[in-house]
Structure 1
Amino acid sequence: MSHQQLARQILDLVGGKENVNSVFHCITRLRFKLKDETRAKTDELKNLDGVVTVRQSGGQYQVVIGNHVPEVYKEVTAIGGFSSRQEQDEVEEEDKGNLLSRFIDLISGIFTPILGVLVAAGMIKGFTALFVALGWLTNTGGTYQILNATGDALFYFLPVILGYTAMKKFSGTPFLGIIIGSALVYPALSTITAGEPLYTLFAGTLFESPVFIEFLGIPVILMTYSSSVIPIILASFFAAKVERGFAKVIPIVVKTFLVPTLTLLVVVPLTFIVIGPIATWAANFVGQGTIWVYDLSPIIAGIILGAFWQVFVIFGLHWGLIPVAFNNLATQGFDPILAMIFAASFAQTGAVLGVWLKTRDPKLKTLSAPAFISGIFGVTEPAIYGITLPKKKPFIISCIAAGIGGGMIGLFGTKLHVMGGLGVFGFPSFIHPVEGMNTAFWGFVGAILVATILGFVLTYFFGGVNKDETPEVKTNSTAKRNVTIDSPLKGQIVPLSEVSDQVFASEAMGKGIAVLPTEGRVVAPVTGTITTLFKTKHAIGLSSDEGVDILIHVGIDTVQLDGEHFTAHIKQGDRVNAGDLLVEFNIEKIKEAGYELVTPVIITNHSNFAGLEVTKVAAVNTNDPLITIKAPEEKTVEISGNNLADLRA
């Protein structure tokens, strides 16, 4: 399927472009913010060729595509015309969901647009450190200086880049964010601190700060903002609010230049005087706090983070730790958090290798190969959603292996020194900038090997790869004995031939009987699985454990009510027991709307059986016998010498 064709089908199945507030992508997923997620056809999307799975988390409707998601995203935005619409819709659409969901959506929205270049810069910086450690380069040579500048530029000017993405996320003018971020790292300001301070604020306290300059007589506490994260995000949030405030009161004739002028004159000084220092102090506190927790027991911290990291990824909660890691790098010069979770992707990859070599399923074997290759390079969503999670045990095993690997990384005290690449490309990020490949680095390598081998071996021998782990439900079998279908409703019996809808009366849909309900409740007539629940809730399809397929159609033409006066208590795919409440409906309201309530109960696969008998009584209660399905007779074949020879032949 072409990327354009896939994009069209995805847009159609999420409810059309009119149902999309915004869309962006990460390494493997299209991340939609939909106006109404119930309009999306999730099951159809999951089964669409080119889609790995669908996840709903953090206020986002995430369609997992795989490695070619940028191409699909390009087609989605082109077809949907989201480039201009998206920004307008984000201004109009208020954030919804709980505080955690909104925070995750905020962080992912700010960092996802730069993820690709972030990884690229980290890889260049990491490999430059590796080349120095191996003696291939010296840190005084021109080659090193240029490579280091290439890799370090993004991190040094991170406030500038985050100023753009944060302002866009907060629905402000992105270029205002660039200017605010640029002011924070303006070189001339950093040279001022070389002289003697004018005076010192908060002397003798934790917040003691020398003052070198003033703004309109107000003391300015100069700090180092290169590579920082929290100050520019807070400044951008405030700037977006200020910009919208000025836009409401300034005349349209001068709005184009006066709004940005006043916004910068307010926000930049305020950032240096108030927002920057407070955010930096807060960042230092968070950084020291995480290191303190880590120092309490790095082994336990590594086990917990390693084991649960993939669960965090599934629910999108991993984004909550990204700013903490960036903050640690900026304030401490290293980060232990992302070091301890690094084994998780390799444990997952090892588990996929176990599935690949063990499975006898050709389709699963075909899927495992590219998932394994992606996992080697740190992209594990295809492995998680396509292979290990559906098989359950391999996913659990990978979590256990990742926990052991994370504990080992904590034991050796390995730390991340630069935000680098994924998978094997991330190894140079753990080389100490001064000590080189020290014990902590080699311990990290050993932990990765252990996690990978454990994931592979445990999955291969104990992963139940060739065992169907779903509960055995004989929905496709044919009953070997008579089966009684209970009445799903209380009411008067109506022969099917007397139903006003000729589709039912002619038995074109199948054989059965109808009930004129006197109570607005539908219960399960059998123990089995809900195979169909129309969105209008007026029709339910079930398949019994004995293989009998049943359709319950409440009323005639009630589909036109579009679900009004109906309440569903189940969803498609649910397991139910006989007598469980399925749907409630308001008899009087449906009658007032002008619709008949005669409810056909149809056996749609009656031809699989020897026959059926319907009840002879005039009225039934729920759970009374309604239809008896006769099992097909078992046939015996006498084998004579002649046809035995034929069989052998």
Structure 2
Amino acid sequence: MAKNYDDLSRKIVKYVGGEGNVVSVIHCATRLRFKVKSDEKVDKSNLEQLSGVITVLNSGGQIQVVIGSHVADVYDALFQNTGLKQEGGAAEEENGEKKGLLNTFMDTVSGVFAPVLGAMSGAGMLKALLILLTTIGVLNADMGTYKILYAAADGVFTFIPFFLAFTAAKKFKANEFVAVGIAAALLYPAMTAAYSAGEAITFLKIPVVLVSYTSSVIPIIVAVYALSKLEKGLKKIVPTVCKTFLTPMLSLIIMVPATYLVIGPVADTIGKLLASGYTSMVALNPVIAGGILGLIWPAAVIFGVHWGFVPIVMNNIAEYGRDTLFTITGPNNMAQAGAALGVFLKTKNKELKEIAGPAALSAVLAGITEPAIYGVTLRFKKPFFIGAVFSGIAGAIVAAAGTGTPALIGTSILTLPGYIGVGFVGFLIACAIAYFGAAIVTYLFGYSDDMLVKGNTAKTEKTEEIKKTKAVKDETMQVPVDGAVIPLAEVKDEAFACGVLGRGTAVIPSNGTVCAPCDGIVTVMYPTGHAVGIRSSAGAEVLIHIGMDTVTLEGRGFNVKVKEGQVVRAGDVLVEADLELIRGAGLDTTTPVIVTNTDDYVKIIQEKSGVAKQGDALMNCIAK
């Protein structure tokens, strides 16, 4: 059954600053990419806390909300549940902020290529499947079945200028259909035939330098950018009564010859220089070049700039019929998958296993590494760097083997047939070393459950006792704050009242000094200060939520006294809350105290009701 992303999509838009702050939003394989008017309006802390969000980055001039493999579903939900339009959010306005050359480049590349990546990846996977089927003899190139399926796979890459014309027009705010018309002119059969025959042609007696525009990317993007500027000028001078046909006509009359005469040859030369420059670098010393590329690639991924290399990859395919750049960096997926696997095998923590296992599987089967990186390896640092080292080793091997692929595909077990050809054995060896090497080294040296206790490097006896707790024991929780104790069912919030988050009780506080109800370790301390989680020395997982909807205060009125990983004793002050400020904001101060691992207990009995003092017995937790 499909998961409902309605609530998540609404909250994402809310925390990126609302619909009015969104200029545009697109998505790539794993993340939503928002272009916003003001970064200051983005609530990064609350975005990262949303269930379904892996992490949030401000990179490449975008707010990148990393979702994982369900990003397309969340993207669709954005437009179904908010006022955003797929052309962008609010009208784009100049705000005087300069994004910088790199950010502008990344924003442009992602805006043009990200919408097409799904089609390119699917076509690449189909090419990989056809290579496998022809290798094992199921199909051959003369069969009609093969020809039709190959047309489906190769058609996307052959006619990629059509796709990029449309997405570039949306990005540059040009007429999409005129842009596609320019692409059609570049790929017109008579013109491609003239190029193939080496025919010399002129335009108004000016010699035309014919180049191949099939599978090309730079010429059409530059041409559409020029079109967007031309259209703005034409709209100022063309009479309103004939704008509908005259502006497109003049655009085609001007832009198609301009592309054939100037833009195409210049852009084609730039593309060839990029491709030859990259291949020359690798040819100079493939081992060193491949090692460096593989080593730095994980950093490119975490900053979200890895798709910025797509133009080079597409130029490599157009110029040489194959690409080696994404091939060299491909084993990084296996390295990060292996590092996540090492954490999964080593940890005894159930929650971490539930994160690391699927993340490792997603990376190795689908090539989606963000859950492994942000959820596991980067979180503990050592596994991430171990993965990066093995990515570098594998990159050196792949570069030395000369492995390449004729399509843009990600690296995973399912896409390995796409690399069949020169250097295929070397590629398999590199992937195996990256995967198993990172897993073994991470298991032996890169992770221990000590890392789960953040911010508490001193290994006290109390810390060790709590960490070694496996089974829960009977325990009495104390009242965390002076006030009136009420049954959980009376809390004016359905999620708490119905017990779906766990059983417990609640306090209507008379002062704002919220204390630990038990001995334990602070497992969660929200940056906003409105909630704190503690794992007790007897195994209870306790959540104290100060007030209802107080996360909306964004930390105002909360003075946090502890941090994640800190050992606390019953009665230690956790947070000092300004109750007057909370009430003044129209919010309820009722503070639920719940045991989230309720299923580990036979009964949770409320011991106190009515007026109580901090330190009184609040509830008894009876273990199974």
Q: Report if TM-score (shorter chain) is over 0.5.
A: yes
Unaligned 5+ segments in structure 1 are 198-211, 433-437, 479-505, 512-528, 561-605, 609-649
Q: 1:335 aligns with which of 323, 331, 342?
A: 323
- Match of residue 392 from structure 2: 403
SS in 2 for 1:241: helix
2:322/2:406 contact within 8 Å kept = yes
- Match of residue 224 from structure 2: 236
Q: 2:119 aligns with which of 117, 120, 136?
A: 117
2:345 equivalent to 1:353? no
SS in 2 for 1:61: strand
Letter of the aligned partner of 1:423 in structure 2?
S
2:203/2:257 contact within 8 Å kept = yes
CA shift at 1:85, angstroms? 5.9
- Match of residue 222 from structure 1: 210
SS in 2 for 1:467: helix
2:169 equivalent to 1:167? yes
Relative to structure 1, is the Cα distance of residues 250 and 93 closer, same or farther in structure 2, using a 3 angstrom cutoff? farther
Q: Distance in 1 between matches of 2:247 and 2:9?
A: 38
- Match of residue 321 from structure 1: 309
CA shift at 1:215, angstroms? 1.1
Percent identity of paired positions between Structure 1 and Structure 2: 39
2:379 equivalent to 1:390? yes
Letter of the aligned partner of 1:453 in structure 2?
F
CA shift at 1:473, angstroms? 7.6
After superposition, residues 440-451 of structure 1 pair within 5 angstroms as 440-451=423-434
Deviation per CA, 1:199-243: give whole Å up to 9, x if none: xxxxxxxxxxxxx11111111111111000111111011011111
Q: Distance in 2 between matches of 1:607 and 1:421?
A: 57
CA shift at 1:276, angstroms? 0.3
Relative to structure 1, is the Cα distance of residues 530 and 29 closer, same or farther in structure 2, using a 3 angstrom cutoff? closer
- Match of residue 401 from structure 2: 412
Q: Distance in 2 between matches of 1:337 and 1:128?
A: 22
Q: Distance in 1 between matches of 2:277 and 2:89?
A: 37
After superposition, residues 15-414 of structure 1 pair within 5 angstroms as 15-83=17-85, 86=88, 89-90=91-92, 96-193=98-195, 197=199, 212-376=200-364, 377-414=366-403
2:53/2:65 contact within 8 Å kept = yes
Q: Distance in 2 between matches of 1:82 and 1:538?
A: 29
Relative to structure 1, is the Cα distance of residues 549 and 419 closer, same or farther in structure 2, using a 3 angstrom cutoff? closer
SS in 2 for 1:425: helix
Relative to structure 1, is the Cα distance of residues 67 and 94 closer, same or farther in structure 2, using a 3 angstrom cutoff? farther
CA shift at 1:84, angstroms? 6.0
1:372/1:383 contact within 8 Å kept = yes
2:330/2:410 contact within 8 Å kept = no
CA shift at 1:81, angstroms? 2.8
Relative to structure 1, is the Cα distance of residues 85 and 155 closer, same or farther in structure 2, using a 3 angstrom cutoff? closer
Q: 1:467 aligns with which of 450, 457, 462?
A: 450
2:22/2:89 contact within 8 Å kept = no
Q: Distance in 1 between matches of 2:405 and 2:10?
A: 41
Deviation per CA, 1:487-519: give whole Å up to 9, x if none: xxxxxxxxxxxxxxxxxxx993459xxxxxxxx
Q: Distance in 2 between matches of 1:115 and 1:419?
A: 9
After superposition, residues 429-578 of structure 1 pair within 5 angstroms as 429-432=418-421, 438=422, 440-468=423-451, 470-472=454-456, 508-509=511-512, 541-543=559-561
CA shift at 1:536, angstroms? 9.8
- Match of residue 580 from structure 1: none
Q: Distance in 1 between matches of 2:172 and 2:408?
A: 25
- Match of residue 597 from structure 1: none
CA shift at 1:550, angstroms? 7.7
Q: Distance in 2 between matches of 1:337 and 1:427?
A: 16
Relative to structure 1, is the Cα distance of residues 194 and 110 closer, same or farther in structure 2, using a 3 angstrom cutoff? closer
Q: 1:12 aligns with which of 11, 14, 23?
A: 14
Letter of the aligned partner of 2:165 in structure 1?
G
2:84/2:90 contact within 8 Å kept = no
Q: Distance in 2 between matches of 1:286 and 1:364?
A: 43
Relative to structure 1, is the Cα distance of residues 164 and 530 closer, same or farther in structure 2, using a 3 angstrom cutoff? closer
1:459/1:465 contact within 8 Å kept = no
User: TM-score, normalized by length of structure 1?
Assistant: 0.71
Letter of the aligned partner of 2:223 in structure 1?
A
Relative to structure 1, is the Cα distance of residues 183 and 196 closer, same or farther in structure 2, using a 3 angstrom cutoff? closer
Relative to structure 1, is the Cα distance of residues 196 and 467 closer, same or farther in structure 2, using a 3 angstrom cutoff? closer
2:178/2:252 contact within 8 Å kept = yes
Q: Distance in 2 between matches of 1:361 and 1:59?
A: 37
Q: Distance in 1 between matches of 2:81 and 2:317?
A: 40
Letter of the aligned partner of 1:460 in structure 2?
Y
2:408 equivalent to 1:424? no
- Match of residue 603 from structure 1: none
CA shift at 1:468, angstroms? 2.1
2:529/2:575 contact within 8 Å kept = no
Deviation per CA, 1:31-78: give whole Å up to 9, x if none: 111222222221122111111111111111111112111111111122
Deviation per CA, 1:437-459: give whole Å up to 9, x if none: x4x11111111011000111011
1:530/1:541 contact within 8 Å kept = no
SS in 1 for 2:342: helix
Relative to structure 1, is the Cα distance of residues 107 and 28 closer, same or farther in structure 2, using a 3 angstrom cutoff? same
User: TM-score, normalized by length of structure 2?
Assistant: 0.74
CA shift at 1:607, angstroms? 6.3
Relative to structure 1, is the Cα distance of residues 179 and 530 closer, same or farther in structure 2, using a 3 angstrom cutoff? closer
CA shift at 1:171, angstroms? 1.1
CA shift at 1:247, angstroms? 1.3
Relative to structure 1, is the Cα distance of residues 92 and 247 closer, same or farther in structure 2, using a 3 angstrom cutoff? farther
Letter of the aligned partner of 1:72 in structure 2?
V
SS in 2 for 1:63: strand
SS in 2 for 1:21: strand
2:168/2:225 contact within 8 Å kept = yes
CA shift at 1:530, angstroms? 8.9
Q: Distance in 2 between matches of 1:535 and 1:38?
A: 16
Letter of the aligned partner of 1:308 in structure 2?
I
CA shift at 1:466, angstroms? 1.2
CA shift at 1:87, angstroms? 7.3
Q: Distance in 1 between matches of 2:31 and 2:243?
A: 38
Larger radius of gyration: 1
Relative to structure 1, is the Cα distance of residues 94 and 414 closer, same or farther in structure 2, using a 3 angstrom cutoff? farther
CA shift at 1:287, angstroms? 1.0
Letter of the aligned partner of 2:205 in structure 1?
G
Relative to structure 1, is the Cα distance of residues 273 and 451 closer, same or farther in structure 2, using a 3 angstrom cutoff? same
CA shift at 1:86, angstroms? 1.4
Q: Distance in 2 between matches of 1:309 and 1:213?
A: 45
